[in-house]
Every structure is written in C-alpha cells, then in structure tokens.
Amino acid sequence: MTSIGIFGRQGRMGHAIEREIERIGEGFAGGTDQGDDPAALAAKADVLVDFSSPLALEANLAAARAHATPILIGTTGLSDRHQAMIDAAAQDIAVLQTGNTSLGIALLSRLVRDAARRLGPDWDIEIVESHHRLKVDAPSGTALMLGDAAAEGLGTTLADSGVIGRAGLVGARAGGTIGFASLRGGTVIGDHQVVFAGEGERIELSHRADDRALFARGAVRAAQWLTQAPVGRHGMDAVVGV
C-alpha cells in the first residue's frame, strides 16, 4: 500500500484527492496547509502531491529532496524561477510536474504534439480555454501545457512562439505562432480546444471536464506511478504510456 501525503490538503484538489485515496483504499500519510511543516509530512510519506500554491513550492521541494520522497506538482501559475527549482530537485528525486492530472489531457497533449509536427508551421494554431469565474490565472496551466506540446511539435518553444491575447490593431497573424484565448464565467470546470487552421480546412481537438473527481483519479494514479519512477523530471504522458 502506497502512503500518499498532500501539500495543500484543505484546498479543493486536496479534498478531492483525499476522497479518492479513501475510495480506492490506498494509504494516507496526512496533509499540510499554510503554516504547517512540510518536512514532517515528507518524512512519513512514500510519495507527495502538491496542490498548494507557488509561494509554498520552494519549501515543499526542499522537504521532498531532504527525505528523498518523490513528488507530484500540480500547482499552476508557476514562474520560470519555479521551473528551475523543479529541474534542480529532479536531479535528486523523481518529480512529475503537470498543469493537469487528467489522463485524457495527457493523451490530448500527445495528439497536439503529433499534429503540430505533421502539419507544420503553415497551419495556424489557436488554443481556447474556458474556466469558472473564480479561477485566478490565465491562460490556464493546461492551456500552456498544450501550447508547449504544440511548440515542441513545431520544433520551437512557447516562449518564442506564444501569443497570449490580442487587442487593438495588432496586424496580421504571424506565421508559426501559437495563440491563446481565455474565457471566464459560471461554474465551468475546464474546457480546452486546440484549433489547427489550414487553407480551407480546420482540425479541432478538444477536452471537456465534467467532474472534478477525474483530476483526483489522475493525481492518485500518477502518485502511485511515481513510487516506481526513476530520478528525473516526468510528465503525465509517462503515466499513461504515450
């Protein structure tokens, strides 16, 4: 039985993951929230999942490294500095960082990467994401993850090709770019659409989340996978084998 610890236990995802752990009968090492000691949890857990906040990431990674405990990072809104921290931690422990723990999104990312590679820069790529009115970051971590997949397929990086939002007289669309649009309203859990627009035709790849429990199921499955994973940085694609 795998003992799973949760950073950010009192958050929406923390509660959902705890319920999933109980549902399937896995071990629960406990959880932390703001002000708690992450090292104490890292010492007794077989694997950690982090859905706290970017501000807590540095301390959580330090605790995981100190106790050689693999960690899943599902926190979104991370900066380049946070990504560098994750890269450094992955020198010592197994780390899986993702903007979305859905198994379906993992497959969609692979399809987007393959489509971008095969279609090439002559096809325009636009990513549209919709979320509930309370979401504080945009574009979503999932949209950025899909953008990274598209950029990889094109042989570039999102830093070089991404265009987030448009307003005013911005001119004609530049070739080889990846556009983003964000919608916020109501109680939408998460919809993502990747549009490949060519001459006289379009391909649309999409994913819709109907139940938040799907993210908890994916997170627990990823945590179980991490206990057997080698040291290094991993993604959800490895969990689903694509």
- 22 and 83 in a single domain? The answer is yes
Residue 113 has what pLDDT? 97
Cβ contact 121:154 at 8 Å: yes
Of 217, 203, 187, 224, residue with least CA distance to 108: 203
- Residue 34 burial (10 A CB sphere; 0-12, 13-18, 19+): exposed
Domain range spanning residue 19? 3-97+213-240
- 82 and 113 in a single domain? The answer is no
Mean pLDDT by 10 residues, the chain (242 residues): 94 93 94 89 97 95 98 92 97 95 95 98 98 93 94 97 94 96 97 98 98 94 97 95 78
Q: CA angle, corner 176, sides to 170 and 179, nearest 5?
A: 55
Known catalytic residue at 135? yes
Residue 5 has what pLDDT? 97
Residue 34 has what pLDDT? 81
Known catalytic residue at 131? yes
Number of domain units in the chain? 2
Q: For residue 189, which amino acid is it?
A: I
Count CA within 13 A, CB hemisphere, residue 172: 3
- 12 and 67 in a single domain? The answer is yes
- 124 and 162 in a single domain? The answer is yes
- 228 and 165 in a single domain? The answer is no
- 126 and 198 in a single domain? The answer is yes
Q: Give the span between the Cα atoms of 67 and 88, in whole angstroms.
A: 15
Residue 99 has what pLDDT? 83
Residue 104 has what pLDDT? 96
- 64 and 127 in a single domain? The answer is no
Segment holding 233, helix H or strand E = strand 232-234
CATH number of the domain where residue 116 is located: 3.30.360.10
- 159 and 187 in a single domain? The answer is yes
Residue 6 has what pLDDT? 98
- 147 and 169 in a single domain? The answer is yes
CATH number of the domain where residue 34 is located: 3.40.50.720
Cα–Cα distance list, 242 to 107, 108, 115, 123, 126 (Å): 7, 10, 14, 24, 23
- 116 and 145 in a single domain? The answer is yes
- 90 and 121 in a single domain? The answer is no
- Residues 39-66: pLDDT tens digits? 999 999 999 999 999 999 999 999 999 9
**Residue in 44, 67, 131, 207 annotated catalytic:** 131
**Residue in 15, 44, 67, 135 annotated catalytic:** 135
Q: What is the mean pLDDT of the chain?
A: 95
